[in-house]
Amino acid sequence: MFKIGGRILKSRLFVGTGKLPDYSLIEKMYSEAKVEVFAVAVRRIGPNTKHTKNVLEYIPKDAITMVNTSGAMNHKEAVKIAQIGRELTSSDWVKVEIEKDTKYLFPDNYETLKACEILVKEGFKVFPYIYPDLNIAKELEQIGVEAVMPLGSPIGTNKGIGCEVLLKPIINEVKIPVIIDAGIGRPSHAAHAMELGADAVLINTAIATSSDPVKMAVAFSKAVEAGRLAFEVGLLKEYEYAQASSPLDEFIKG
Amino acid sequence: MMEYLKEALEVYSQYENYIPSFDEAREILIKEFLDKSDLVKLLNIEDERLIRIMAKKAKKLTEANFGKVIMLFAPLYISNFCQNGCTYCGFSNLKNCPRERLEREQMEIEMKSLKDEGIDSVIILTGEDRVNSDFEYIKSACSVAVDYFSEVSIEVYPLLENEYEELAKIGVVGITIYQETYQKDDYEKLHLFGPKKDYEFRLLTPERALKTGFHEACVGPLLGLSHPEKDAFCAILHAEYLMNKFPKAEISLSFPRFRDANTGFKPSYLVSDKEYIKFLLAARIYLPRVGIVISTRERAALRDALMDICITKMSAGSKTTVGGYATSKDEKLGQFEIDDSRSVSEIVNVIIQKGLRPEFTNWVKGVGKL
Ligand code: SF4
């Protein structure tokens, strides 16, 4: 159980929906992998047509919709997209995603900060997707966002926690939850993120593009639980050399 | 861009006839970042086994970057008046064909019938005629379209920067513009008269649009008009150039092959399926984040085979005639012949069967209007 955005959640696994082959998998992830938070790109929220249903119709009513501003090129667009998203979904959870470039999809921390300042004032529960930078994370904490979502590795790369040395200080220093977003390709990566002390992870590509997204979500959910449990117990330190064993102590002491 | 293209063509000429060995090609395919010479080598590959490996890599990259999603859109021809003498086009001024343009009411009828089909992303097309379809006309068509669709793009004659600015303000998000051929001498031979003769003005068009706040640009050659490998190479690098210069914009590539347009024009090169496929795969591998568009010019079976490998966007249920959606028109009057004439529903079914999700909505209506 943990508290975030004014809600108590059981699951620390958040899932992105943008790359899914079929939205009906959302309901199955909710029931089988117990995922409670689904990120939805506002740019993909379309009306029902004769071929497709609006993505929102697939999100279970007790789950949380986190609207995502992806596609926004600057803070103004992000704010507007968030406002439209809130109207469409009645959810005030917003993942602020403003990318610096479409090649690596690195978040633009500067524009993100500006968008968050406005959105917090407007009463949104703000979850900024950021490039792992402690200074920005602290500023965001100051202005009142609900959590920070630093990337683990560039989006879609499945490379795991490539930015560990940058993520650790953020996890240690900010008091608000840290959700590792992007780059997590395997359940073991997610477990790693949790062992480091992250509060949750958000997975998109690794689940959506697997051959069985629901089973993969279950795998991730278990890994997240395992990693969290280990973090709570406290991981044993790794030592460079074997520990001296007590029988020798006698002789060493002479 | 001119300088960039010149430098790129120098690399191209160094490797123009270089066919990499099986092992060398495999080495290239293992790399994470390819350079320009690698791209030429991939474009020269003939060994089918290597093309299959390319397809595997392309599929992985597409899924990682775009997920299991195919975006659907449709073109909407509003006018076929054209002052240009492009030797290969059904709307060319060289051709004596019935000319028409849709007025507002007719446009709305067309838009409604597209909307009824579920289409939510359109490209407004015209020929080039600043008298019969002047800028104000295009602008008014766009302002009607932004009320109907979440994503409105244009494929009209090259405009001026301030004109793009006006369109961006009313909510137009994308531009498609084909350079037709990047080989300047061939370009000049193929365009007999009219404003389109200005190669450079056309080449710099996507930049003018992206500067003003457009979100998307799609570029490409018309394969067959000139040396295909060379044109594919230049188009891929054009996309790369735009990605570097406008890192926030979404850049796509499209590689239409010449299709008969009842003009009697015979293209200098025929591009086989194998070559065509190789171009798309090379584009994906060289630029993992570039959008790749396939139009209804290609036949259904080929479109189906490529859709889960490297495609991100497809047109569906297209008509290339003016007013063709609401009233059935003789397809021979279109800009070119289409091959995949399946309905939107039929295409949607194939996409689903392929384990992909058809997507109609790609933009937030009204966000461009800032
Ligand atoms: S290709 Fe375009 S500019 Fe050329 S004749 Fe056809 S419609 Fe006109």
At CA B46, angle to CA B310 and CA B336, rounded to 5? 55
**How far, in whole angstroms, is CA B154 from its chain's centroid?**
11
To the query of whether residue A95 is one of the catalytic residues in this protein, the response is yes
Q: Please give the span between the terminal C-alpha atoms of chain B, in angstroms, as a whole number.
A: 29
Asked whether B176 lines ligand 1 (CB < 6 A), one says no
Question: Are B67 and A50 a contacting pair at CB < 8 A?
Answer: no
Q: Which two tokens stand for residue A42?
A: 């506002």
Residue B289 has, within 13 A of its CA and on its CB side, a CA count of: 22
Instruction: Please tell me what DSSP assigns to residue B322.
Output: T
How close is the Cα of B28 to the center of ligand 1, in Å? 39
The residue whose CA is least distant from atom 1 of ligand 1 is: B89
Mean pLDDT of chain A: 90
Question: Are B67 and A209 a contacting pair at CB < 8 A?
Answer: yes
Identify the weakest region by mean pLDDT among A106-115, A239-248, B51-60, B204-213.
A239-248
Among A46, A47, A208, select the one facing B68 at the smallest CB separation.
Answer: A208
Alpha-carbon distance A137 to nearest alpha carbon in chain B (angstroms) = 23
Give the active site residue among A3, A95, A103, A215.
A95
| Distance of alpha carbon A110 from alpha carbon B366, whole angstroms | 24
Contact list, A157 vs chain B (CB under 8 Å): 64
Average pLDDT rounded to a whole number, residues A170-182 = 93
> What pLDDT was estimated at residue B364?
82
Among B66, B117, B120, select the one facing A46 at the smallest CB separation.
Answer: B120
pLDDT digits (tens, 9 = 90+) for B14-61: 999 999 999 999 999 999 889 999 999 999 999 999 999 999 999 999
pLDDT at B71 over 70: yes
Asked whether B322 lines ligand 1 (CB < 6 A), one says no
What domains are defined for chain B? 1-359 (3.20.20.70)
| Distance of alpha carbon B173 from alpha carbon B248, whole angstroms | 13
pLDDT at B339 over 70: yes
Question: Are A80 and B363 a contacting pair at CB < 8 A?
Answer: no
Alpha-carbon distance B236 to nearest alpha carbon in chain A (angstroms) = 14
At CA B6, angle to CA B1 and CA B7, rounded to 5? 100
Ranges of each domain in chain A:
2-233
> What pLDDT was estimated at residue A164?
86
Q: What is the model's pTM?
A: 0.90
In this structure, which long-range contacts are made by residues A33-37, counting pairs with CB atoms below 8 Å and at least 24 apart in sequence?
A: A33/A214, A33/A217, A33/A218, A33/A220, A33/A221, A34/A10, A34/A221, A35/A11, A35/A63, A35/A217, A35/A221, A36/A9, A36/A10, A36/A11, A36/A62, A36/A63, A36/A64, A37/A9, A37/A11, A37/A63, A37/A64, A37/A66, A37/A93, A37/A202
At CA B307, angle to CA B305 and CA B308, rounded to 5? 95
Identify the weakest region by mean pLDDT among A143-157, A165-179, B146-160, B190-204.
A143-157
Identify the weakest region by mean pLDDT among A111-125, B125-139, B324-338.
B324-338
pLDDT at B160 over 60: yes
At A241, the pLDDT band (50, 70, 90 cuts) reads low
Question: Are A101 and B247 a contacting pair at CB < 8 A?
Answer: yes
Q: Which fold has domain A2-233?
A: TIM Barrel (3.20.20)
pLDDT digits (tens, 9 = 90+) for B276-300: 999 999 999 999 999 999 988 888 9
> What pLDDT was estimated at residue B264?
77
Asked whether B191 lines ligand 1 (CB < 6 A), one says no
Q: Tell which atom from ligand 1 comes closest to the C-alpha of B157.
A: 3
| Distance of alpha carbon A128 from alpha carbon A112, whole angstroms | 7
pLDDT digits (tens, 9 = 90+) for A20-61: 999 999 999 999 999 999 999 998 888 777 888 888 989 999
Helix or strand run (H / E) with residue B293: strand B291-294
How close is the Cα of B92 to the center of ligand 1, in Å? 5
Residue B320 has, within 13 A of its CA and on its CB side, a CA count of: 23
- The residue assigned the tokens 């028409």 is B100
Residues of chain B above pLDDT 70, percent: 96
Helix ranges restricted to H, B212-257:
228-245
If DSSP codes are grouped into helix, strand and coil, which group holds residue A92? coil
Among B116, B348, B359, select the one facing A44 at the smallest CB separation.
Answer: B359
Closest chain A residue to the Cα of B68, Cα to Cα: A21
The size of the A-B interface in CB pairs under 8 A is: 107
B90 in the Ramachandran plot: left (φ > 0), alpha (ψ -120 to 50) or beta? Answer: alpha
Identify the weakest region by mean pLDDT among A127-131, A157-161, A237-241, B349-353.
A237-241
pLDDT at A242 over 70: no
pLDDT at A157 over 80: no
Question: Are B344 and A76 a contacting pair at CB < 8 A?
Answer: no
> What pLDDT was estimated at residue A102?
77
Average pLDDT rounded to a whole number, residues B342-347 = 90
Closest chain B residue to the Cα of A98, Cα to Cα: B248
At A106, the pLDDT band (50, 70, 90 cuts) reads confident
> What pLDDT was estimated at residue A244?
61
How close is the Cα of B269 to the center of ligand 1, in Å? 20
Alpha-carbon distance B37 to nearest alpha carbon in chain A (angstroms) = 20
